[in-house]
A and B are shown apart, each in its own frame.
Chain A
Amino acid sequence: MDKTTIAETGFLGAAVLSVSLTALILIFMLFLGFPLFKGGSFITLLTTPWNPDKGLFGIYPMLAGTLSIVLLSLCWAFPLSLGASALISVIAPAGFAKFCKKTVQMLTGIPTVIYGFVGVFLLVPFVREMFASGSGMSILSASLMLSMVISPTMILIFTDTFESLPASYSAAADALGASPVQKLVYVILPYSRRGIFAGLILSVGRAMGDTLIALMLAGNAVAVPGSILDSARTLTAHIALVIAADFDSIEFKTIFAAGLVLYVFTTSLILLVRIIGGMDMKNR
């Protein structure tokens, strides 16, 4: 075998290895969670409550906890990111916009554990004093901090989309005498709606996959939350908390169900983004 063949086989081998890794993770989750799926009980698992004393090991409370924290954090982060990216791309003077963008890029580099740490000692006491309820570890605290974690990436995706507006569109709006805000509302936003949607979906995946913020700030109570001041446990935090349990117990097996749900959710979000991207290609 000559050098070329060896190198090219190596390149192909590395690519195949990466692909099979993706599949292997799914296979491991299915295989180790398999005892739970026998007799079609997987759906039941997703809809029943968690009560080990009565032999109930449903992950419905964690599913509800994940969804409520993710949705609430998007309620904060999405308008904030849209406003901030409009400020950076259109409204602010050039110097300040550049400063904002640099700061936002810097924020993407801050470790999640640091957001969690500051949350525990700054945000949680604040929420506790403000609403005078319980420990302050709640869906509200977790979702506020989580929105700080996902906003920078979302802003960068939005500003990239805004700035990819063809120069001819921008010039046409200027020639018609549009103000910057009118250009934003009538040209940039309609042009970027797919990019905005894709950024939103990627952020949902990011918020759902985050472990530490919810683990540190949401209180981890296993119950379906009734209000935003209630404590909740996410699927990711459930995995982190139960990992120390006995390997053969049913309790332990449920973390593979949680892992599987997370895997399937994030994969479908990626597929959705791909489909939107594909439509983008055809329409332009």
Chain B
Amino acid sequence: MKERFIEIFIKSFAWLSGLLLLSAAFVIIGFLMIKGIPTLSLSLIFGDTSPADAFLLRRQVLTGLFPAMAGTCLLVLLAVGMATPVGLAAGIYLAEYGRGTLKSFFSLFCDILAGVPSIVIGLFGFSLAISLHHYIREIYPCLLISALALAFLVLPYLIRTTQFAMESIPAEVRLTAPALGATKLQNIAYVLFPRSLPGIASGVILAIGRCAEDTSVIMLTGVVAAAGIPGSLLSAYEALPFYIYYISSQYRDAYELQTGYGAAVILLIICACLFLAAFYLKNQLMNRMLYRQ
């Protein structure tokens, strides 16, 4: 009898928590969609400027989200562009060259870096900018510093996904090329690296998503509420997630609040697309396509 009671209790608790979580998620996303989707329009992004003028930088977009979206794109490109080569190389080192104590020492430090809160990475980026400012007068918190700090943030993810993708290659594939007389580097370049591309690519896409959504690093390293399209690497810039944060606390009228909802929906759609792409790559649907070259 007691067993029966416990069984019913556990079952209903599990169903309750599962349904609670699902309904909370649907309320959050549904609320955003209901409020945000009606605001989506070209004028939300471009204001009174025509899209062609905005893309060709002939006229500044003053009221739309275009500068924020452009800032986020530039930021992601710079940060992932800086982090990917280093992350892949370090991942290859950990998977193929690192041995024994040195390897576990490296991977411990990588785990610690992954666990450091993003605001502390942002603080580090800020301090770096201030320290460099003593030597180079032009350096303030800016696009370059933000991208650098974001690169630090995603570096451990890139290292780990690369390492994991390479280490999970089965032994029969791993040994074929050396058996035919290939050197270790040839084996890595022609067999192991191409073979682990889907895993690595999904890691890179997740890193892009992480850079696109992060707010706490950039709010310490140079993002501002109104800057227009950044003119150089050393200028201030706007970004979509910071705009959402800024609107939630500083909105002046109903229209600005509407643009906040619109920005949130756009960011959600971008992140969902990136996430789905990473997910399908991880499921290795692309495996054959990438390996055929």
Contacts and interface: CB of A to CB of B under 8 A. Distances in A.
A25 B119 CA distance: 12
B112 A22 contact: yes
Closest 8 CB pairs of A and B: A209-B117, A83-B17, A111-B213, A14-B89, A109-B275, A11-B93, A211-B216, A87-B18
Interface residues of B, number: 84
Nearest to B152: A21
Interface of A: 3-4, 7-8, 10-15, 17-19, 21-25, 28-29, 32, 79-84, 86-88, 90-92, 100, 103-107, 109-118, 120-122, 148, 151, 155, 179, 181-182, 184-185, 205, 208-212, 216, 236, 239-240, 243, 247, 255-256, 259, 262-263, 266-267, 269-270, 274
A20 B219 CA distance: 25
B119 to A, nearest CB: 4
A221 B86 CA distance: 41
B110 A88 contact: no
A148 B120 CA distance: 23
B236 interface: no
A113 B215 contact: yes
Given A14-B90, A239-B120, A240-B119, 19 more contacts: A3-B185, A11-B89, A14-B86, A18-B109, A19-B110, A22-B110, A25-B121, A83-B16, A100-B18, A111-B267, A113-B215, A113-B241, A117-B244, A121-B35, A122-B31, A181-B7, A185-B6, A209-B120, A212-B245
Contacts of B241: 111, 113
A222 B122 CA distance: 22
Given A3-B185, A12-B97, A14-B89, A247 B130 contact: yes
Interface of B: 3, 6-7, 10-11, 13-18, 20-22, 24-25, 27-29, 31-32, 35, 85-90, 92-94, 96-98, 105-106, 108-113, 115-124, 126-128, 130, 152, 155-156, 159, 183-185, 209, 212-213, 215-216, 219-220, 241, 244-245, 248-249, 260, 264, 267-268, 271-272, 274-275, 279
B13 A83 contact: yes
15 contacts: A10-B89, A18-B106, A19-B106, A22-B110, A87-B18, A88-B18, A107-B25, A114-B244, A117-B244, A236-B216, A239-B122, A240-B220, A263-B120, A266-B112, A267-B112
B241 to A, nearest CB: 5
A279 B247 CA distance: 48
B271 A4 contact: no
B194 to A, nearest CB: 16
B28 A83 contact: no
Label chain A's interface by main secondary structure: helix
B115 A15 contact: no
Interface centre among B22, B116, B275 (most CB of A within 10 A): B116
A205 B115 contact: yes
Nearest to A18: B90
A270 B22 contact: no
A236 B116 CA distance: 12
B279 A114 contact: no
Given A32-B127, A106-B272, A236-B216, A92 B264 contact: no
A239 B118 CA distance: 11
B16 A15 contact: no
Contacts of A19: 105-106, 109-110
B119 A236 contact: yes
Contacts of A205: 115
B17 A87 contact: yes
Given A87-B18, A116-B248, A216-B248, A21 B155 contact: yes
Contact of A110 (B96, B111, B268): B268
Given A18-B159, A84-B18, A122-B31, A113 B267 contact: yes
